[in-house]
Amino acid sequence: METYDVVVLGGGSAGETVATTVVRGGKSVAVVEERLVGGECPYFACMPSKAMLYSAEVRHRTGSAQAAGAVSRPWGLDDGRVAYRAAAARRHEISDRLDDSDRVLELQGLGVAVHRGLGRIVRPGALEIDGRVIGWTDLVISVGGMVNIPKIEGMDRAAIWTSEDVYTTSDLPGSVLVLGGGAVGCEIAQVLARFGAHVTIVQRAPRLIPAEEPAVAGALADVFRQEGIDVRLSSRAVRTELRPDRACLVLSDGTRLTAERLVVAAGRSPRLEGLGLETLSIRPGPGGFLDVDAQCRVRGQRHVWAAGDITGIARYTHTANYHGRVVAANLLGREAHADHRAIPRGVYTEPAVACVGLSSAKAREQGYDTLSASMEVGRTARAAATGLRSGQLVLVADRRRRTLLGAAAIGPHAEEWIGEAVLAIRAEITIDVLTDVVHAFPTFSESYEPALRALAEMIGERP
């Protein structure tokens, strides 16, 4: 059988990073992928969603300007369905027309063997792919996750949409129920609403993006309501009634919500079934994910590694890429450890939400002597110049160590200026230094200055 130094099971973001780095380091590498090389990000998630969010923002802004008599739009684009089809055509190009051939050729050009099919571990050092067996010295598992379908009476996968359906269809539903108010659900809701769909978000938790700061989550809900999105918080769906042209959600209080489509955005689960992990005596950890150490090695294994969503840690593409670099470095003999304290989290709505580190509630749970301060982004000079009236930045600090523990923001391009907090947390830069940082004027990043000065006053002079 063919044998490789490294076999990567799953050709998504983490798998590609491992494969390209390790093969350049002189090792023989194979990637096993049953679907599209590149994973979900370029085809069904990150790239198509951001493309549609951009198109939705342009339509929203242009519509506002047109209403004020400032501009005119091309014929037909006033019709939301026509505009949506145009945006979907652009999205299809950005998503490489759901064609991974260029990515495969790039890997093969570097010397990586690409095997199509479902891989299953059949014994230590051996993997079967649709009847063929290949060997490995080190195995990297980066198979990602799959959509969580809630166990609700009447739920039928064939009759609902997931994010993949939303970001591959060209047709705009007239009305939509979005089950789930996390990042994915929020982005889908705003895209569809800005093209003219009547959208209702049904969120079981008492706020959207419930793991983040309440002030930021509340600000996002306010934006949605202003745009006509019906936000139903603390609402538990107990039954679905699904027909080809109509979806109904029945809530625990008896409320019936109906729409043309039901979009389920209730999180993701690990994709471990059928991988043959029991052959290596690997048992999933909390939540069914693979438990890894700081080097991204599966605990209890010497030659098995895991990267990306399958670890259950900060499930973002940038985390997968980071894990891929860590695994690759270790495979090439350069010891590396992952540090997850400062992995940014984003909701790419408009305005965007961006967070990093611990929320104030999580910091208190973990026993920190916590302080927090906030700043209204709408009070910056840049906001005055652009007409922005809302936005929020919340900073969380450790009084004893005089450092930031977390930050949460909602505002224009917050995903960009959250980088200052990412670096501050990762490098453990003290509040004393941060308060001395000069920001360009006028920018949204000036929001840091009043909040940091407030933290410095609360912390007091150094003992």
Q: What is the pLDDT of residues 164-185, one digit of tens each?
A: 999 999 999 999 999 999 999 9
Looking at CATH, the fold of the domain delimited by 157-266 is given as FAD/NAD(P)-binding domain (3.50.50)
Distances (CA, A) of 140 to 15, 128, 324, 331: 8, 15, 9, 10
DSSP letter string over 50-88? HHHHHHHHHHHHHHHHHHTTS----TTTTSHHHHHHHHH
In the chain, the largest separation of any two C-alpha atoms, in whole Å, equals 70
> Whole-number mean pLDDT of the chain?
95
Q: Token digits for 176?
A: 């939509």
pLDDT score recorded for residue 79:
87
Whole-angstrom Cα distance, residue 362 to residue 447?
Answer: 23
Same fold for the pair 2-38+100-147+269-331 and 157-266 = yes
pLDDT score recorded for residue 387:
87
Q: Is the pLDDT of residue 75 over 50?
A: no
Q: Is the pLDDT of residue 338 over 90?
A: yes
Name residue 457's beta-bridge partners: none
Give the other-Cβ count within 10 Å of 346's Cβ.
18
Average pLDDT, integer, range 305-310? 97
- Domain 2-38+100-147+269-331, what architecture? 3-Layer(bba) Sandwich (3.50)
pLDDT score recorded for residue 389:
79
Whole-angstrom Cα distance, residue 272 to residue 53?
Answer: 31
Asked which of 104-108, 172-176, 387-391, 394-398 is least confident by mean pLDDT, the reply is 387-391
Q: Is the pLDDT of residue 66 over 80?
A: no
pLDDT band at 68 (very low <50, low <70, confident <90, very high): very low
In the CATH scheme, what is the code of domain 345-459?
A: 3.30.390.30
Query: Above pLDDT 70, what percent of the chain?
Result: 96
Q: Token digits for 142?
A: 């980066």
Q: Model-level pTM?
A: 0.94
Q: Is the pLDDT of residue 65 over 60?
A: no
Residue with structure tokens 């010891």? Answer: 335
pLDDT score recorded for residue 461:
72
Q: Is the pLDDT of residue 69 over 70?
A: no
Q: Token digits for 215?
A: 């002030």
pLDDT score recorded for residue 242:
94
109 burial (CB, 10 Å; 0-12 / 13-18 / 19+) is: exposed
Domain residue limits, the chain: 2-38+100-147+269-331, 157-266, 345-459
Rounded to the nearest 5 degrees, what angle is found at the Cα of 371, between the Cα atoms of 367 and 375?
145
- The 10s digit of each residue's pLDDT in 360-382 is 999 999 999 999 999 999 999 99
Q: Is the pLDDT of residue 64 over 80?
A: no
Most confident of 284-288, 388-392, 459-463: 284-288
Whole-angstrom Cα distance, residue 339 to residue 160?
Answer: 38
Q: Which helix (H) or strand (E) holds 202?
A: strand 198-202
Q: Which helix (H) or strand (E) holds 14?
A: helix 13-24
pLDDT score recorded for residue 77:
54
Average pLDDT, integer, range 236-263? 96
DSSP class of 24: H
